Amino acid sequence: MNKKHAFTRRDFLRMTGAVGGALAVGAIPALEVGAAPPPRRSAQATETVNVLTVGDPWDLALQTVTEQFTEETGIEVKIESLGYVALQARLVNAFLTKTADADVVAVDQMWISQYADNGWIRSLDDYIKADSDTEIDDFLPEVLYSLSTWRGSMWTLPIAAYAQGIMYRTDLFEEAGLDPLPASTADAEDWTWEQYFDMVADLNGMEMGGEEFFGTVVIGAQPVPIVHMFTQLSARYGTRWFENFPEAPWDFTPTINSPENVAALTDWKKLYEMAPPESINYLWFDAGTRFSQGDIGMFFHWTPYFYLVNNEGYLSGKPSPVVDKFKTAVLPTLAADGPQVVSLGGWSLGMPSTSANQDAAWQFIKWATGADGQKAMGLADTKGYQFADFGRKSLYEDASLRKIYPFLDTQMEMMVLGDGKVVRPPMPIYTSLEAVYGLQINEAMSGAATPEAALETTDMLFNNILTGNQMIPYNIESYDDTLENTVALIEELSA
């Protein structure tokens, strides 16, 4: 590779050594789920809603436009933004001590089941039923299913929905004689993951304009980031985490150590061999920033990076060298063994049961996740346009947003193919399992363990954690958590 990346993969692995340990969060005894919300009252000019968020791009956009909400409602908004780990720790501590730490909180999709089962957040069903202007049927059902529902209720509303897709260098493709990638599934009949790997190999080591390119870039930091990227690949192989979930009856016997997942992890190592060696420690934004710096041919990632890679650094506001030199594409949707399953994740807004200001909290949740609030976030020009993570169908059809974000059709198609409850199943002790899984994927990636050994260890530890938390055997009533049941819930709430 070029001189600034002249050290070898082996040198890098020798320097970094074994990757650090992972944090595991155990199950917490369930509390009684909160009661139905009190009757709504008119917001008063003296009211303040305290919002606790995470430092993702959508948070910057939200903070930019909250004055519009205050002008419309008279409700002041105070936002505090934390890092991912700090936010989770802060929320759990507040919930356990039953302190009114915030009126509105950002909820990762993986936390929904734990928060709902413990009564830490309030169901939004009655609020949605009471307010037709919530327009719940404007949301993509796949987004609500993946981010906001649990056991047949709506616990949050999506503030930022992420699917996954591909970014690739058009100039490098042209130089290599490769055809452009399909921006729509309608043109992807022959677009397979096998072809994806072949193209990465074709691009790896290419030289153009005095620069030598890596074929791709991967996310390798454990425990959480690596799971986000690897599970999209493993879903292509048909990997499921459990014997039966989210469909009923729930059976959490692990199926993570399967021939399909061994094949996925083996191919994951192949991708790493065509990526910068330091990417074994890359977080989400490290991978996106590396592509934006100009020496990566193609990669798949969360859809926020469809716009983030226009910046040279993460939310830097400085145009990157790849502006006007890259395009977005759909993930391979067909393979010999069936259709692709797209990972769907992101953030939503929920209401703590401890909040003493629930009506103002609901007004803010409804506005920030509503079409007007979301459009305002998309139009906010703060270090460039930095928000297109829409969960509402109407926003994908909005002319002013489509002009700024030309990839919206591609993004929406990935959303519609999304299934966040299969790719990364948000069951109550998911965080503990992810900690184990991420470490073992990283071990295989570094060569410290074979894919077979890494998944054998993962399976053993999954069994120990699930048995210790009384998830095996599962003796609690299951819920048939399907997309069809979410569609039925949407119809009920919008009636």
Report the C-alpha gap between 366 and 349 in whole angstroms.
Answer: 9
Of 11 and 124, which is predicted with more confidence?
124
Two domains, one topology: 48-162+344-418 and 219-274+426-481: yes
Report the C-alpha gap between 145 and 34 in whole angstroms.
Answer: 21
DSSP 82: E
Give me the sign of the Cα torsion angle 319, 325, 329, 334.
Answer: negative
The predicted-structure confidence for 305-357, as pLDDT tens digits, reads as follows 999 999 988 888 899 999 999 999 999 976 555 667 899 999 999 999 998 89
Residue spans of alpha helices (H) in 160-303: 170-176, 193-203, 224-236, 259-273, 284-293
Q: Does CATH place domain 219-274+426-481 in 3.40.190.10?
A: yes
Residue 464 pLDDT: 98
Give the model's confidence band at 236: pLDDT under 50 very low, under 70 low, under 90 confident, else very high. Answer: confident
Residue 11 has pLDDT above 50, yes or no: no
Angle between the N-to-C axes of helices 284-293 and 224-236, in degrees from 0 to 180, rounded to the nearest 10: 80
Residue 105 has pLDDT above 70, yes or no: yes
Residue 91 pLDDT: 94
HSE-up of 347 (CA within 13 Å, CB side)? 24
Tell me the pLDDT of the chain averaged across its residues. 90
Residues 223, 227, 229: CA angle, nearest 5 degrees: 135
Angle between the N-to-C axes of helices 371-379 and 358-368, in degrees from 0 to 180, rounded to the nearest 10: 60
pLDDT > 70 fraction of the chain, expressed in percent and rounded: 89
Report the C-alpha gap between 454 and 155 in whole angstroms.
Answer: 35
* Stretch 200-224: mean pLDDT: 96
The predicted-structure confidence for 13-29, as pLDDT tens digits, reads as follows 433 433 333 333 233 23
Report the C-alpha gap between 482 and 123 in whole angstroms.
Answer: 19
Residue 190 pLDDT: 86
Residue 68 pLDDT: 97
Residue 25 pLDDT: 29
363, exposed or middle or buried, with CB in 10 Å at 0-12, 13-18, 19+? buried
Structure tokens at 217: 């870039």
Q: For the structural domain made of 48-162+344-418, what CATH number should be given?
A: 3.40.190.10
Residue 339 pLDDT: 67
The predicted-structure confidence for 58-103, as pLDDT tens digits, reads as follows 999 999 999 999 999 999 999 999 999 899 999 999 999 988 789 9
* Stretch 250-269: mean pLDDT: 97
Residue 383 pLDDT: 84
Residue 300 has pLDDT above 80, yes or no: yes
Asked whether the beta carbons of 245 and 235 are under 8 A apart, the reply is: no
pLDDT > 90 fraction of the chain, expressed in percent and rounded: 83
Nearest in space to 83 (alpha carbons), one of 123, 116, 56 = 56
Task: Give residue limits of the domains in the chain.
Answer: 48-162+344-418, 164-215+283-340, 219-274+426-481
Asked whether the beta carbons of 410 and 167 are under 8 A apart, the reply is: no
Residue 13 pLDDT: 41
Residue 243 has pLDDT above 80, yes or no: yes
The predicted-structure confidence for 444-479, as pLDDT tens digits, reads as follows 999 999 999 999 999 999 999 999 999 999 999 999
Residue 101 pLDDT: 82
Residue 122 pLDDT: 97
Residue 27 pLDDT: 31
